[in-house]
């Protein structure tokens, strides 16, 4: 067992997994953008199935051991899902909000990103987040009762989580 795995609580694992699963589910619901000149959408056809592979982008500010842990989750997911691949980018904590705002303004945001829960309302007002209530309700792993009420409350805007 690696150092990262031995220090990870069950709650942290479930929360991180729920975030990645919700992001993957959201990305699967969004039509792929048209490729820009010289680029192809995703990585093309899968060699063994002949079906198209879609690559989604995930930005996080977690680095060091948490970044390693998240990268392992992404790698494990990618190894078991041929049609949907996740590309993770670690953006330094102090740069993430600015980089996200720039990407959203340019019309080229990541498919999903972790943000500080204290910034949820600010992003919601700008239309930069999507309510996850339907995904939370359908999830066997994510339950609002598993969170501290204050932490969950910071992620609610106009009655939506």
Check which CATH number belongs to the domain holding 141 and give it.
3.40.190.10
Furthest C-alpha separation in the chain: 48
Mean pLDDT of 47-57: 78
Q: Is residue 14 part of a domain?
A: yes
> Beta strand pairing status for 52-60 and 84-90?
parallel
Query: How many domains is the chain built from?
Result: 1
pLDDT higher than threshold 50 for residue 94:
yes
Q: How far apart are CA 66 and CA 5, in angstroms?
A: 10
Instruction: Return left, alpha or beta for 99; rule: phi > 0 is left, psi -120 to 50 is alpha, else beta.
Output: alpha
Residue 152: predicted pLDDT: 84
Q: pLDDT category, 60, cuts 50, 70, 90?
A: very high
Q: Is residue 160 part of a domain?
A: no
Token pair for 129: 């987040």
Q: Residue 105 belongs to what domain range?
A: 3-28+52-153
Question: Taking the complete model, does pTM exceed 0.75, yes or no?
Answer: no
Q: Is residue 34 part of a domain?
A: no
Q: Is residue 148 part of a domain?
A: yes
């Amino acid at each position: 067992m690696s150092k990262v795995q031995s220090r990870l609580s069950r709650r942290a694992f479930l929360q991180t997994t729920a975030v990645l699963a919700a992001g993957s589910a959201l990305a699967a619901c969004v039509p792929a953008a048209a490729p820009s000149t010289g680029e192809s959408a995703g990585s093309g056809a899968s060699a063994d199935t002949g079906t198209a592979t879609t690559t989604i982008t995930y930005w996080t500010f977690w680095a060091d051991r948490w970044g390693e842990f998240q990268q392992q989750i992404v790698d494990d997911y990618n190894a078991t899902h041929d049609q949907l691949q996740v590309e993770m980018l670690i953006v330094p904590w102090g740069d993430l909000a600015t980089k996200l705002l720039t990407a959203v303004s340019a019309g080229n945001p990541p498919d999903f990103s972790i943000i500080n829960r204290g910034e949820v309302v600010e992003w919601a007002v700008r239309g930069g987040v999507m309510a996850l209530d339907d995904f939370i309700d359908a999830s066997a792993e994510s339950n609002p009762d598993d969170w501290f009420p204050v932490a969950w409350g910071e992620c609610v805007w106009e009655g939506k989580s």
